[in-house]
Chains A and B, each alone.
Chain A
Amino acid sequence: MDIIISFAIAVLFATGIYQLLRRNVVRSALGLVIISNAINLFLLAIGAYDGTVQSYAKAIGVRSDALPLALILTAIVISMGGFAFTFAMLYIVMRRYKTADIDAITELKN
């Protein structure tokens, strides 16, 4: 299980970084979404997620830590708002320039 999860994180990160560096702004924004999901998966992996005993109890057994889950929930909610905002702005920008090519969106430069 550990191997599968770490492999998944690596693949997601690599895909995200690759998309982030594309010239198409929509793809590059999607890269941001993928990276954020890779980090959420990483947060899941750092907590002991398959145990049965609470981490604060003085009992014997495989421990489980709920805190990273709370972190993930908060991060998901925040990033959902953020990405909705990103794509809304992207829609306006693309409608104005009628292209998704980052090299064509240059009015700010001068």
Chain B
Amino acid sequence: MNSQDAILPIAIPLAGAGVAMLLRGWPKAQRLWTFGILMASLAMCANLLNHVFSSGKPLVFQLGGWAAPFGISIVVDALSAIMIVMVQFVMLMGCIYALDAKDIAKRYSVFMPLFLTLTVGLTGVMLTGDTFNLFVFMELIVISAAALTAMSDDRSGTEAAFKYFYISQLATIFLLLANGLIYMSYGTLNMADLAIRIKTDALAGGPMPPMFTLAMVCFFATFMIKCAAFPFHFWQPDFHAAAPTAVSAMLSSVVVKSGVYGFIRMTTLLFEPFAPQLQQVLMLIGAIGVIYGGFSAFGTHHAKRMFAYSTLAQIGFMLMGIGWGGTLGIAAAIVFMVNHALIKSAMLMLSGYLASKAQIKSASFENIKGLGKYLPQSGVLFFIGSMALAGLPPLNGFVSKMMVFRAGIEAEQWAWLAAIGLASLLTLIYTMRAFQWVWFVPPAAGVKAKKDGDSLFAPTMLILACVVLGIWGESLVSIAMQASEWVQQPAAYIAAVNPAK
């Protein structure tokens, strides 16, 4: 495999988006083209994953042939490879859901091209080895996601999109500031090069450059907003409830992962000497997120809002995993990220499916209460999904929660463990409450399911993936452990990107 292949997961959807824009007069051709492009790019990602694990070293492509500290590097290491396969698989499922959805969004000719640029942004964030390039891809995610949300059926879609765009624009502006500060301190923006310089400086024991701490804080705050961690979560539930179903499923499952990925890179590569301090903060915001998210989800009256708050809690588990650190902690975070992406996108698609079957298109519990009587298949899927979300065996949620708890036991953090253990019970309560409201309460007079609605194919596939990863979780856990061992040794990453040093 050539090193150029590393850029294909970015280049294929980007070129595809351009062609899809040209196909705007032929909606059917455009949808098929988008589907084909996502398939091709997923195949490429799987190929890269296979290559990286079999060759045992990261695949690096230097854009334009400029060697590492000067040019932009695209780095596929084990962590990035797992992440891009996750992103592109979930995006493909979202595209399949959108193909058969009855949303207004589908009538806009830019819907599919924006879906592809969202994929480009997410993949780019996971693959890039340059902090300024990270900023560019973050901005691409933000603008595509906001435009996709604005196409909602909901009247307040534009308002939600504005709210999201405003907050995220602020976050990316501060990422730009962080880039400026880091360039001022070390004169480089290449992650591998930065890691070497920061480590040498920290080992020398002298004072760090004056702007260094501010840069670290800016990076940290940006990633917190991106993954909607506790104090910066306020925009997320509004935004997710108003977006079209195919989009909200993507936002709550893969877009928030860009922030979690950023935290893994921060604590294991960029700011490795300062990891203990960062991990303390991550543990704190993670634990608050788990508890606060659980209680907030309990207090909602809208299915999509409930799952948006539940994302806050689940992100908290991932941050706890990163906060505990070590091989097991990071591996737990990786497994949790993959499993959560599958479960959460399936659950949001099921909520959207219910909304599309209801008389008024809304997923509020008032509106969908008792509707389940007419829709038994989706009830089975919802039940399996909520079991997975709550972390009951034999589903994939159990594997991921088990790994987080094992990481906690290994780190001997008993107080934190007790807190999040109790809070994770809340998941079971609120998902079961929703299940009961929709499938067990007899429908009110006049409540009937509409004949036409969205298709159940994509959520079925995702739930199937959840079951498969629950029963044969071994494969995912073992590659996550390997990936975690890789990121524990940043020297290999640095040597692959920057062989001169």
Interface positions of A (Cβ within 8 A of B): 20, 28-29, 32, 35-36, 39, 42-43, 46, 67-68, 71, 74-75, 78-79, 81-82, 85-86, 89-90, 92-93, 96, 105, 107-109
A89 to chain B, nearest CB (A): 4
Q: Which residue of B158, B170, B184, B238 is within 8 Å of A93 (Cβ)?
A: B158
* In the complex, residue of chain B having the shortest beta-carbon distance to the beta carbon of A78: B139
A-B contact pairs, 23 of them (CB 8 A): A32-B169, A32-B170, A35-B173, A39-B173, A39-B176, A39-B180, A46-B180, A67-B183, A68-B180, A71-B132, A71-B176, A71-B179, A71-B180, A71-B183, A78-B136, A78-B139, A81-B143, A82-B142, A86-B162, A86-B165, A90-B162, A93-B158, A107-B156
Number of residue pairs across A and B with beta carbons under 8 Å?
A: 77
What is the bound-complex CA distance between A74 and B173, given in angstroms?
12
**Contact call A89/B180, Cβ cutoff below 8 A:** no
A36-B176, A89-B165 given; 7 more Cβ-contact pairs under 8 Å? A32-B173, A39-B177, A71-B183, A74-B132, A89-B162, A96-B155, A96-B158
**Contact call A92/B158, Cβ cutoff below 8 A:** yes
**Contact call B166/A32, Cβ cutoff below 8 A:** yes
What is the bound-complex CA distance between A78 and B150, given in angstroms?
19
**Contact call A75/B176, Cβ cutoff below 8 A:** yes
Question: Which residues of chain B (121-161) have a CB below 8 Å from chain A?
Answer: 132, 135-136, 139, 142-143, 146-147, 150, 155-156, 158-161
* In the complex, residue of chain A having the shortest beta-carbon distance to the beta carbon of B142: A82
Asked if B199 is at the interface (CB within 8 A of a chain A CB), the reply is: no
**Contact call B166/A86, Cβ cutoff below 8 A:** yes
**Contact call B156/A74, Cβ cutoff below 8 A:** no
What is the bound-complex CA distance between A39 and B170, given in angstroms?
12
Contact residues in B for A86 (Cβ distance below 8 Å): 162, 165-166, 169
B115 to chain A, nearest CB (A): 17
- B interface size (C-beta, 8 A): 31
Report the 4 A-B pairs with minimum CB-CB distance, sorted nearest first: A46-B184, A89-B162, A108-B238, A43-B180
Asked if B242 is at the interface (CB within 8 A of a chain A CB), the reply is: yes
Contact residues in A for B180 (Cβ distance below 8 Å): 39, 42-43, 46, 68, 71
Asked if B361 is at the interface (CB within 8 A of a chain A CB), the reply is: no
**Contact call A74/B158, Cβ cutoff below 8 A:** no
Contact residues in B for A105 (Cβ distance below 8 Å): 159
Q: Which residue of A20, A36, A43, A107 is within 8 Å of B159 (Cβ)?
A: A107
Asked if B265 is at the interface (CB within 8 A of a chain A CB), the reply is: no
The residue among B142, B146, B159, B163 with the most chain A CB atoms within 10 A of its own CB is B159
**Contact call B166/A108, Cβ cutoff below 8 A:** no
**Contact call A93/B162, Cβ cutoff below 8 A:** yes
**Contact call B158/A42, Cβ cutoff below 8 A:** no
**Contact call B179/A108, Cβ cutoff below 8 A:** no
What is the bound-complex CA distance between A89 and B163, given in angstroms?
10
* In the complex, residue of chain B having the shortest beta-carbon distance to the beta carbon of A97: B159
* In the complex, residue of chain A having the shortest beta-carbon distance to the beta carbon of B184: A46
Contact residues in A for B136 (Cβ distance below 8 Å): 74, 78
* In the complex, residue of chain B having the shortest beta-carbon distance to the beta carbon of A29: B166
What is the bound-complex CA distance between A82 and B165, given in angstroms?
9
Q: Which residue of B173, B238, B241 is within 8 Å of A36 (Cβ)?
A: B173
B112 to chain A, nearest CB (A): 19
Contact residues in B for A36 (Cβ distance below 8 Å): 173, 176
The residue among A46, A79, A92, A105 with the most chain B CB atoms within 10 A of its own CB is A46
* In the complex, residue of chain A having the shortest beta-carbon distance to the beta carbon of B170: A32
Contact residues in B for A42 (Cβ distance below 8 Å): 177, 180
* In the complex, residue of chain A having the shortest beta-carbon distance to the beta carbon of B185: A46
What is the bound-complex CA distance between A50 and B25, given in angstroms?
51
**Contact call B183/A46, Cβ cutoff below 8 A:** yes
What is the bound-complex CA distance between A76 and B176, given in angstroms?
11
* In the complex, residue of chain A having the shortest beta-carbon distance to the beta carbon of B138: A78
Contact residues in B for A67 (Cβ distance below 8 Å): 183
Contact residues in A for B169 (Cβ distance below 8 Å): 32, 82, 86
A93-B146 in contact given A71-B180, A78-B139 (Cβ < 8 Å): no
The residue among A32, A67, A74, A82 with the most chain B CB atoms within 10 A of its own CB is A82
A77 to chain B, nearest CB (A): 10
What is the bound-complex CA distance between A36 and B184, given in angstroms?
18
What is the bound-complex CA distance between A46 and B179, given in angstroms?
11
What is the bound-complex CA distance between A46 and B184, given in angstroms?
6
Contact residues in A for B241 (Cβ distance below 8 Å): 108
Contact residues in A for B155 (Cβ distance below 8 Å): 96, 107
Contact residues in B for A107 (Cβ distance below 8 Å): 155-156, 159
**Contact call B173/A85, Cβ cutoff below 8 A:** no
